Structure 1
Amino acid sequence: MQISLYRRLLQNFAGPTFLLLITAGGISYGIAKSVVGTAYDQNLINLAHGAANHVLLRDGQIALDLTGGAEQVLRTDTIDDIYFRVRTGTGSILGGDADLPSLGSERSRNGTGAAELQPNVESLPAHHLAAPQFFDSHYRDTPIRAVRLQQTLGHHTIYITVGETLNKRQQALERLLLGFGSAAVMLLAAATLAVRLGIPSSLAPLKRLEDELRGRTGADLSPLSPESVPLEIREVVRALNALFDRLRAVNTGQRQFLQDAAHQLRTPLAGLQMQIELLESHPADAAALARLKHSVQRVTRLANQLLALARAEAGAQLMVNASTVDFAHLIDDMVEEWLEKADARSIDLGIAREPVSIVGDPTLLRELIANLMDNALRYTPNGGEVSLHCAVADGMLELEISDTGPGIPEDRWEAVFERFYRLPETSLSGSGLGLPIAREIARCHHGSIRISASPRGKGTRVQVSLPLTQ
């Protein structure tokens, strides 16, 4: 399933934004309700204190001195209905709406709307009644918000209850919520606009990078400019530039390889052509026929080594289907051929190998052993010594081949692994591909190969280390 970066950014932005709006809406509703409730509750307290100011003590008796005009002022409100009642601690009504609910006289409503039975204020001790007591109730089939105050005059206790309908509160809450909602809608519109314009604008450098890469030819491996892209994708550009560097190196190596291969093939092919022409003019010339055979063998060997090098360089793909290989059996299969070459030149050949199996490609492993032994037998003079030792140490297969040939100077131990490199003082024919092939095969098997001086004091020792499992 293909993943859209634009869609993922949109989803990552929309989810938190939606949750933030829901949370902000809940918080806004709570704050608005608290602000409106606190403001109008304070107004109720003021009305209750206004009514309490008209309660007098005359000749030891409590009386409510509230004229009709003053009562009208107390009840005046353009939106809500105002109700009040003044009652003594003994239950006598001094004035107002006698049937106005008392706190605790019925199941009132708390702030969350759930039914809640409040304590009866009039039955509580006086020190509990000093603070205003708010409650929600119903009066004349209409929800109201009310407050009760307690006041002491002499030895008399009075209770002032003032209530009002909830129209002003509801309107104020609706206006506040409308304001919050309008702000939320504008913020959501701004966020949507930012998303619609901001995300494509932010992804524009990727589109430009895509267009630049699409417009390139296969030969254009020039590096991209990291400064032309945002910081977040500069590492991607640097990785691409590193890939381009490796591809340029590969292409350069391939061109050099083709040039070297063409140069190496040109000489034996020219010699082969000349030998054929000489043989045509002197069909019975045995020497010319021998030289022709030698030229054919040289060209065949060079072609085989070029194919082996190409196969070794593709070893990573071949290792996908790696299998368990009996390494000792590979050695045994080639011993007879080595003995023939050694006997022909009186070379003392010694082979010591332990039974060992390794996970790898059998064709490449055979090529590795064959190239190293061919070099050792080729460069060892008549009557010399060549030895092969194969064993397991610390979970690694250790292959060691040493000879008593002319040896390789220490400063050339790395150079001889370059393609077509040959020591200047070498007089024997060769292509300079044996050791490069061996190194490529060791690398694709996650192993290593190194050259050192022969322990016999003369010659060369090649040591190969390969892991038993990949």
Structure 2
Amino acid sequence: MRRRLVWLTVAVITTSVALLTVAFWLLLRGWLRHDADALLASRARAASALVTVDAGRLVLEETPGDEAIEQEMWLFDLKTSPVVHPPVDRSLASAAATLASAGPATRMVGQVELRSLPVLDGPRRIGTVVVALSLAPYIHSERLAVGAAVALDVVIVAGAAVLVRRLVGSALRPVAEMTALAGDWGAHDPDQRFGLGPPRDEITGLAATLDGLLTRLAASLRHETLVTSQIAHELKAPLARMRAAAEASARYDIRPEPLRAALEGVVGEVDQLAGVVETLLKAPGGTATTGRADLVEVAERVAFAAGAAAAGGPQTRMSVHGAARPALCDPDLAERILTPIVDNALRHTRSAVTLQIDEVDPAAGGANAARLTITDDGPGFTPDEVDAVFEPGYRGAAATGDGAGLGLSLARRLARLVGGDVLVLPAPWGRVVVTFPMLPDA
């Protein structure tokens, strides 16, 4: 917007200055032309007044200063024979003779203007006088003035461009700062407000609008947190009852062994669900980034649990590579972030899933960040899916099983909650990158 405003203002100023310069040039040219015509007419009348008849011949009276007139005049008799002619080139002399035979008129020869005027003796015409005026000084003055005007136009437009750019930048700088603050507050501290009072101008109107937007955003986030907490609390009670019933049933030795194994499996599932609920209860609070998670240990634990539960069993190879990277994150929350991603990789892989842990290159803007890359040899993600897969409920073309399409969405939300992120990279194979903030002394 700033650039468009500057260019539009400069274009308007340039057009206006150009029109004024053209108008000035036309006025100057007309004024110089009028001045030259007046001077030429005055010379013609002065030269005509010096002509007399002596013994039937046209003669030029001798008066002080007539040398200047004789250098720029021709005197022709009725037969268009030159009586007086200045020492000029033939083209100019020929044009003067032609003009004398044509009657009162003017004619341009190069930068010289010729004018003829009849010489009268009473009512009787006795000859023709032709005078010349060089327009070179007028043309030079015109070009000099127009050139100076154009140079002044350039200075005016350049100065106006600099001034407009500064004024527009100064006017829009508060808008840019408010936009940046609103974006930062919306992501990290939606309770902040500008508090500039009722709208008095465009800036205070924008502040009031952003304050209202932040208020609605904060209310929405509080509502979302409340709903999540309520759901988690509602799930904890039935899960606890399920565990108690399963443990009670598993204590009877008279039960068949398959039933005991099934009940023990139920207990394990209940423990896992309870862990999920506890993790989700921690997420909205302030304990998400207070723990220390060794990403190698977390990755190995997630890989072992996912591999044990995978339908393929030992047919799928899972490996974890990389040195220990302590992340600033609750270990259970880190495990909850990785679990749906690894499960998704297991569902789509053909034979192998790899978890690679390393540190983000500080030159790429990733100081104090650890990166965990989950790679499988499945069909991967298309460029159109890199953002769509994080939409709740989205299931890609290569989706299998009866998943709800919530895993990657939940993983990204939890990762961003601790200051990290989850990214999907388009490739012929599956590749998901998870980043975690590292401890300051790591």
Specify the TM-score bucket, using the shorter chain as the normaliser: 0.3 to 0.5
Which structure has the larger Rg over C-alpha atoms? 1
TM-score w.r.t. the length of structure 1 is: 0.45
TM-score w.r.t. the length of structure 2 is: 0.47
